Amino acid sequence: MVFTRPPKPGTPPLSEPDSLLCPTYGSATDTQIHRPFQTLTGLAGTTNQKIKTPFSTGQEKQLGDAVVSDYSGTVLICWEHDHIPAIAQALPTTPGTVLPDAWPSDRYDLIWQFSLDGQRYSFDILPQHALGGDGPAPALPTSDQ
C-alpha cells in the first residue's frame, strides 16, 4: 500500500494509519506466518509502527468495540476476508448505512473505509488500484437488496 501516490480521479485519498491491527494466531511466531500480518509487514516498516494483534478471528465484535473506544486517528485493520463483515457490523454507522453481508470472494484489491462523522461512521468501498487488472469498486449495497 502506498500512501504517497495521488488517488485516481474520484477516489478519496487514504490517510497514513496511526495503528495497524491484525488477528493473533496464538504465539508471535504463528501470527507472523499468516497473511494478514504479512500484508501489513511492509507498511509497518515504512511507517515505523508495530503491528498490534489484540484479538483473534471470532472476536470481531470485541475488535469493533475496541477500535471505537480505545483507538484514535486512522486505524488500518487487515483481517481474514470472511470475518470482515462482522467487524463492520460492530461499528456504529450513520443512519441508513447498509453494509455488505460478505466480502466479495474474488476480490483482494478492496478497502472498506469507515470515516467518523460525528459519533458514527460513514462507509465506502475503495479500489486499491495498486496492480494492473485491479477492478473498480463494487456498488454499495442498498436496503432494497
Higher pLDDT, 12 or 137: 137
Residue 6 lies in a domain: no
Range of the domain at 45: 19-127
Q: What predicted TM-score, i.e. pTM, was given to this entire model?
A: 0.84
Residue 81 lies in a domain: yes
Instruction: Note the pLDDT of residue 91.
Output: 95
Residue 89 lies in a domain: yes
Closest CA to 66 of 21, 123, 101: 21
Residue 132 lies in a domain: no
Average pLDDT rounded to a whole number, residues 51-61: 97
Residue 54 lies in a domain: yes
Instruction: Note the pLDDT of residue 2.
Output: 36
In the structure, what pLDDT confidence band is assigned to residue 142 with cuts at 50, 70 and 90? low
Overall domain count for the chain: 1
Closest CA to 66 of 53, 78, 82: 53
pLDDT tens digits for range 79-95? 999 999 999 999 999 99
Average pLDDT over the chain reads 86
Residue 8 lies in a domain: no
Residue 145 lies in a domain: no
d(CA 145, CA 141): 7
Residue 48 lies in a domain: yes
